[in-house]
Amino acid sequence: MRKGQERAPQRRTSKITLEPDTPANARELSRLQNRNQLIQSAADAIYKYGIRGTTAARIQELSGLSQGMVNLHFGSKEKLLLAVAEDLSVRYAGQWKAIAFNPELAPADKLISIIKADFDPLVLNARDVSIWFSFRAEALSNPHIFPFIDSRDKGFRAVILELLEQIKVEGEYDDVDAKLATDALVALLEGLWTDYHLHSKIFEPSEALKICLFVLQSVFPRHFST
């Protein structure tokens, strides 16, 4: 792939809209802000030091909050790390779900948009992808992490399969196995994320999109082009 400009890791912040116009609201706002700060600081620690190197002391240093805050909001460091995995998973799913359930898009347009979203820097950036793979390295020994980073996510696969089945009917691709095409596309996306993880400085999202469209065009030539 052609050399592209590396995107700097972006610190993620959740939108908290509660107005602190009463003492109760102010306390709740502070609680939500502290909780989010701990999640993002733990994520930063994983990015810098890996899962095994993410100690309570390093989370405290990055967040500026005490160990007592970790216990108050999560109960333990281990549960805080699970919250980081869940946060990544929720943000990733939010990208493709917003597209998949948009009634104004045709199936092929939805699929192209979902693929583009997979290479969007909101989810495909050095920080988040590094954290994602750090969790995957721990998944087999920690079953609590597995649901958040499973490469065979049932919801995502079900959406891709449904879209490809609709495209198959539209284009009268009678000989196409939509499930096999789904498995191929998901495996391709997984491989491209791995390529980004190992070669983020030269990874080019536009080239990755072309690769996906090339494969789709070979199976559904009347719906996709490069």
pLDDT tens digit sequence for 101-146? 999 999 999 999 999 999 999 999 999 999 999 999 998 888 899 8
Q: Exposed, middle or buried by CB within 10 Å (0-12, 13-18, 19+), for 15?
A: exposed
Enter the pTM of the model: 0.83
pLDDT of residue 148 exceeding 70: yes
Give the whole-angstrom CA distance, residue 12 versus residue 67: 22
Give me 125's structure tokens: 């950036």
- CATH number at 19-75: 1.10.10
Contact 17, 44 (CB under 8 A): no
Question: Which region holds residue 208: left if phi is over 0, alpha if psi is between -120 and 50, else beta?
Answer: alpha
Percent of the chain with pLDDT strictly greater than 70:
89
CATH 1.10.357.10 range(s) for the chain read 85-219
Output helix, strand, coil percentages for the chain, rounded to the nearest 5. Answer: 65, 0, 35
pLDDT of amino acid 19: 56
The pLDDT of 207-221, averaged and rounded, is 97
What band does 152 get if pLDDT is binned at 50, 70 and 90? confident
Average per-residue pLDDT for the chain: 89
For 154-167, how does the pLDDT look when each residue is reduced to its tens digit (9 = 90+)?
999 999 999 999 99
pLDDT of residue 9 exceeding 50: no
The pLDDT of 84-108, averaged and rounded, is 95
The pLDDT of 212-216, averaged and rounded, is 97
Spell out the long-range contacts of 53-59 with Cβ–Cβ below 8 A and sequence spacing 24 or more.
54/81
Distance from the first to the final alpha carbon of the chain: 16
Indicate if the alpha-carbon torsion angle 5, 7, 8, 9 is positive or negative. Answer: negative
Q: Under CATH, which architecture does the 85-219 domain have?
A: Orthogonal Bundle (1.10)
CA distances from 176 to 135, 162, 192, 201 (A): 35, 14, 24, 37
Under DSSP, the state recorded for 103 is: T
Give me 103's structure tokens: 């009634």
CA distances from 62 to 30, 41, 107, 140, 222 (A): 18, 6, 44, 28, 52
The pLDDT of 93-100, averaged and rounded, is 95
pLDDT of residue 7 exceeding 50: no
Q: Which amino acid is at 205?
A: P
Rounded to an integer, what is the distance from CA 105 to the centroid of its chain? 22
